[in-house]
Structure 1
Amino acid sequence: MSDVNQSFGQALVKSLVGERGHIRIARALPDIDVTLAARTHDAMPYTIYQLVKHMHYWQQFMLEHLEGRKPQLPANVSESWPEEKGPQDEATWKADIQAFLDGVDQAVAIAETAQLDDPLLYFPGETKAGLLRNIASHNSYHLGEIVLLRRFYGAWPPPGGGFPA
């Protein structure tokens, strides 16, 4: 692995986990309970639950490409948003959060070990680095919405603090 590849991989890892730009993604989600996850707000078209499920959907889609598979592209982006406003129960919600965070860990492992300028077999014109960057930016974008919702609901910062407080 070249020094440039390794340096860029380290930058991708920081983006994937949320270092420097905002609170770490793993700190912003685990304390959200099922009630908060399903809460609606007039100013937002979706709940925290729907955001996490949407983030996980596209993260998994991109991870499959990174692993050399060809995931089925949805007929419409609306398919990546769950219709239900909240999870069935607390255990299901905790499993949803863990599955999403496991995907972040998987993306980090790829960023740390892959030749980042390798092209993707089923994604013409895209590289591993490009797709990892897409995962990081998509998650970051929606994490900002989750933080905003938490602030609306008076559920910010999480235990241990958060930025911004």
Structure 2
Amino acid sequence: MSDANQSFGQALVKSLVGERGHLPIARALPDISVELAGRVHEHMPYTIYQLVKHMHYWQQFMLTHIEGKKPQLPANVMESWPEETEPQDEATWTADIQAFLAGIDQAVTIAKTAQLDNTLPYFPGETIAGLLRNIASHNSYHLGEIVLLRRFYGAWPPPGGGYPA
């Protein structure tokens, strides 16, 4: 692995986990209750639950490409958003969060070990690094919405604090 590949991989890891730019994503989600996850805000189009499910959908889509497989492209982007606004129960919600965070861990491992400029067989013109960057930026974008919703609901910061303040 080249020095440039390793350096960029380290930068991707920081972006994937949420270092520096915002609270690490693993600290922003686990304390969210089922009730908070499904709470509907009149000025927001999605609940926290729907945001996490949407993030997970696209994260897995991109990780599948990175694995050299061809995921099914949705007919419409709205298919990546769940219709239900809340989790079925606490166990399901906990599993949803754990699955999402496991995907981040998988992306981090790839960023640390893969040849990042390798192209992808079913995504012409794209590289492993490009999709990892896309995962990081997509998750960061929607994490901001989750933090905003938590602030609206008086559920911020999470245990252990949050930054930026």
* Aligned match of 1:141: 141
SS at match of 1:32: coil
Deviation at 1:130, TM superposition (A): 0.3
TM-score, length of structure 1 as denominator length: 0.99
* Aligned match of 1:39: 39
Q: Aligned runs of 1:5-20 on 2, under 5 Å?
A: 5-20=5-20
Q: In 2, Cα distance between the equivalents of 1:129 and 1:82?
A: 28
Letter paired with 1:68: G
* Aligned match of 2:69: 69
Deviation at 1:29, TM superposition (A): 0.1
SS at match of 1:158: coil
1:36-95 Cα deviation digits (max 9, x unpaired)? 000010110000000000000000000000000000000000000000000000000000
Is 1:115–2:115 an aligned residue pair?
Answer: yes
Deviation at 1:159, TM superposition (A): 0.3
* Aligned match of 1:132: 132
Is 1:78–2:78 an aligned residue pair?
Answer: yes
1:90-149 Cα deviation digits (max 9, x unpaired)? 000000000000000000000000000000010000000000000000000000000000
Is 1:87–2:98 an aligned residue pair?
Answer: no
Letter paired with 2:99: A
Letter paired with 1:114: A
SS at match of 1:124: strand
Letter paired with 1:100: F
Is 1:158–2:158 an aligned residue pair?
Answer: yes
Q: Percent of aligned pairs with the same residue?
A: 85
Q: In 2, Cα distance between the equivalents of 1:36 and 1:89?
A: 12
TM-score, length of structure 2 as denominator length: 0.99
* Aligned match of 1:29: 29
Deviation at 1:164, TM superposition (A): 2.4
Q: In 2, Cα distance between the equivalents of 1:87 and 1:106?
A: 24
SS at match of 2:124: strand
Q: State the Cα RMSD in Å.
A: 0.4
